[in-house]
Chain A
Amino acid sequence: MDELLDNYIRFLATLTPAYFVELFWFYFVFEFVRYFLLEFIVLNLAKIRAVFNKPHKEDARRRLFMENPLVSILIPGKNEGKHLFKLVNSLGEQTYKNIEIIVVCDGSDDDTPIIGRSLEKAGLIDMFIRNEVRGGKASAANTALRFAKGKYIIHLDADCSYDNDAMEKILIPFFEDERVGGVGGNVSVRNYKESLVTTLQGVEYFNTITTGRTVTSYLGIYRIISGAFGAFRADVIDQLKGWDIGPGLDGDITVKIRKKGYKIKFAQDANCLTSVPNTFRKLIKQRLRWDKSLVRFRMRKHKDVLMPTASFKMLDFFSAFENIMYNVVLNFKWYVYLLIMLSFYRPLFLNIFITNILLYTATNFVKFIVYSLYREKAHASMSYFLIYLPCMVFYFGIYLRVVRTVAYIQELFFKKSYQDPWNPRKTSVHAKHLGI
């Protein structure tokens, strides 16, 4: 151990700035610049804008309540009956009251139909539609959409819960800028104390959603409105005739709205809590599905946004490019970095590995503490997560990277997403045939 430590200290002593960059270019060029420096600058700019924008935002809120438009809340899902009562109760607490709740049961084989019917009868939900045959998430959402009467549509997941001002907050951006076609809510982890994997996801959601989407929204390249909490202008979503077949339908519809020329905004103060997978095995299943959809939708279905066509839009291009670059390309580039280090710096590999871990961990600490200052509301104590932050480098840098790699390979070479049981086969075969 002493020898290892001596060896490492000697290694650090040899590091000149040029040598440091030579060995840790991956961290500096991609991680530090993109995920720390850029985010830090933008968060500050966003904060400044928020201060100047405050009167405008308050005016938007006032106009929302003056107009008081009907808002349709769509809750599609399969076997979600057990969550419905709690969800409907939390919706009853909302500060924005002019809502209609439409629940669609997508071929559930549990007590969902009984629960849904009784809630409908009790007047707690406005419409309960039971589809006897499962059609998939998109079809269930489209069923609800077809009967929605609201001027705005909010899509929720039944197993989530919402701050009592969440609906109000997610609607305000529509009144701030009439070119906004969709708004994504802020999703945090409810069960972050359940296990190590849920705690790590708690940190991850804070980084990628609360912080990450604030940044992309500011830059105008925000690209995914979560299915768990997303709001849309009804006329916009009607033009699109609803959602296409998933998985990844929430990212898909966001791109489609952007293509129509509308803006997409992120409402950091519209808070939603969700339960995340509580084992590493379950998380792998979820992430394989999510990561495959990146390839399927960004690189195949919507590859046109990257092409210099007549409808080319720079922001859409950057939105897709950034996504593909940082998630797919750099993911594989990391392996290149690993190979270079193993091939050309083999005697130093252990020291490089340790330094990388220390660099990422230090960055994680700084980011987590500093960025917490930019968050408006917190459902979890920041200090709870601090002791888990050293694990993040392994969780995010290795575990999720491997999962992502597998997903990309599966989708790029085998189009595995079309075999995902998340969607019924009867719809997937058509999607595959049509290449969507």
Chain B
Amino acid sequence: MKHIAEHKDNAESIIEHAGFSFLYIRNLSPIPVEEVQYHSAVIIEVKNYDFVRLMVSSIRANLSPDIYLKPIFLLKKDTYDDAVMDELADGSIKGLDELDLVVPTVERISTRVQDLTFTNSISFEAQIITKLITLLYTKEQKTVDPFPYVYSNIGYYYPLLSVNFQRTEETVALDILKIAEEEGILRSDYYDRVYLCSSCSSNHLSYREVCPKCSSSNTTPDDIVHHFPCGYVGPMQDFKNEIDDKLDCPKCNKRLKHIGVDYDKPSVIHDCNNCHHKFQDYHVNAKCLSCLSDKSVETLKPTEIKSYRLTKKGELAAIKGFVTTTKDIDEVIGTIKYDTFKTMLKYEIERLKQTEGQSNICAINISNSSQVYSKLGSDLQRGLLKDLVSVIRSNIRSSDVIAFESSSTIVMSMNAIPNKIAKKIIGEMVSLLNDLIKTSFEDLDVLFDTKVVALDYAKTHEAHLKELITDFS
């Protein structure tokens, strides 16, 4: 049963079919992208390719899951080859009478969308990773492959990811994929290497042989001629006379007769028409067609292009809806990097070997971090973490250090005090933190778990950390 309702301006149609509402976008009839969220799926008529690219991109680039996760189908009557658009869409039909064919896909995506929990990741990078992996999950797709794409600024396009960026910012997609790989969300395989402009990171380069002195490509080659009998060597021009097209030696005036017998051409020389420099070996320059910089190919940035696969951790992160990256917690004042914390712990253990003193490491974990962060925007999440660190800092000695193991687990050192005292301080700290939450964040329940581990110089720093955070992983 199909029912088509047309809007007044005839620009869009809503098709009710099999219990789903399809938004039908006709050729060259743009609609506000927010309209998409009120329908089960989108069908875009393919006639003008630029229009299709614009519509598909604006849906997938939107930050709202209600929009970017919506199934998109292309209505293609003719052959339309755009692998990137095919990747961004969820399927295609040849006419509205084929709607039945896409219903199972709409059903599947709608069901899988319901598996997802939508929370706000803290950093921009984490938000984009969340967006990518939720799209992969709903599309039942495990790979993020690069597509050679003429419209891409870097030559390769990761459709579900690169769509979020303007042409000039496409390299950000590569940075984000790298972060996702470091976090264990994606795993990579080498695919290709591209060379990007060192000024603007564009791959749209024109390679030219140029004069090594002035970089002009306006040059003229000339054969070098060696006259055997007298040993004269010079460019062909030297041997030309004004009377006929024969060659005469300027040194001995003999006519050149037979190549290989009385003369040969041992090499070629290039004459720059701009600066008149003579040279044999060109320099190869790459002129960037985006920013017009013209530099030696050696200055180009070699960049690896990889294909990625979603890991199990990535799949779970998609469902959980929250991704943390080191970017989230790098900038919280009063903390040191986790790697630095590990190094300092190692030295403290070494120190204890000499002094036989008592030191501890402690952890405070937000056990319901997904729920907490989902209620807060990025700025508030950062604010919460800053406040927590500030309270902790005021309750430990200045010689002790604080670090984020993850965005939900804070670790700290409590050196040169007995284990009992450390536990007591942590207990008091948690009650202060609870007070802080109550006064600063209304209607927010934050659950804290704590652990204190006394340092034992017989064990490695890694073993200590494992023991400390094992309950929170």
Contact = CB atoms under 8 A, between A and B. Distances in A.
A binds B: yes
Interface of A: 107, 117, 120-121, 127-136, 138-140, 142-143, 146-147, 241-245, 426-427, 430-431, 433-434
A132 B223 CA distance: 12
Interface string B389-402: 00000000000000
Contacts of B281: 117, 120-121, 128
Contact of A242 (B232, B260, B262, B267): B232
Interface in B225-252: 226, 228-235, 238, 250-251
A132 B262 contact: no
Given A120-B281, A127-B279, A242 B226 contact: no
21 contacts: A128-B280, A128-B281, A130-B267, A131-B226, A133-B226, A135-B226, A135-B264, A135-B266, A136-B231, A139-B226, A139-B266, A142-B232, A147-B269, A241-B230, A241-B250, A242-B231, A244-B230, A426-B228, A427-B229, A430-B262, A431-B229
Given A132-B267, A133-B266, A138 B280 contact: no
Contact of B233 (A121, A135, A434): A135
Contacts of A135: 226, 228, 231, 233, 264, 266
A142 B231 contact: yes
A85 to B, nearest CB: 18
B278 A430 contact: no
Contact of B280 (A129, A133, A139): A129
B266 A132 contact: yes
Contact of A245 (B212, B231, B278): B231
A58 B244 CA distance: 53
A143 B224 contact: yes
Contacts of A433: 229
Given A130-B267, A133-B264, A146 B231 contact: no
A295 to B, nearest CB: 20
Contacts of B278: 127, 147
Contacts of A140: 233
Contacts, number: 83
A146 B229 contact: no
A80 to B, nearest CB: 17
A139 B231 contact: yes
A426 B232 CA distance: 14
A65 to B, nearest CB: 27
Nearest to A136: B231
Contacts of A131: 224, 226, 266-267
A130 B233 contact: no
A251 B280 CA distance: 31
Contact of B228 (A129, A241, A427): A427
Contacts of A241: 230, 232, 250-251
Contacts of B233: 135, 139-140, 142-143, 146, 242
A141 to B, nearest CB: 8
Contacts of B279: 127
B163 to A, nearest CB: 42
Interface string B261-290: 110101101000000001111010000000
A225 B273 CA distance: 37
Nearest to A107: B266
A140 B234 CA distance: 11
Given A121-B212, A128-B280, A146-B235, A434 B267 contact: no
A139 B249 CA distance: 14
A128 B270 CA distance: 12
Given A117-B281, A133-B266, A245-B230, 7 more contacts: A134-B266, A135-B233, A146-B233, A146-B235, A242-B251, A427-B231, A430-B229
Interface in B8-28: none
B225 to A, nearest CB: 10
A128 B229 CA distance: 25
Given A120-B281, A121-B212, A241-B251, A129 B232 contact: no
Contacts of B234: 142-143, 146
Interface string B1-43: 0000000000000000000000000000000000000000000
Contacts of A146: 233-235, 238
A133 B280 CA distance: 15
A20 to B, nearest CB: 52
Return the 3 tightest CB-CB contacts between A and B, nearest first: A241-B251, A131-B266, A430-B229
B265 to A, nearest CB: 8
B280 A434 contact: no
B266 A243 contact: no
Nearest to A138: B231
A140 B264 CA distance: 13
A127 B260 CA distance: 26
| Most interface-central of A134, A244, A430, A431 (chain B CB within 10 A) | A430
A147 B271 CA distance: 11
B222 to A, nearest CB: 11
Contacts of B232: 142, 241-242
B280 to A, nearest CB: 6
A134 B235 CA distance: 16
Contact of B269 (A129, A244, A245): A129
A433 B279 CA distance: 35
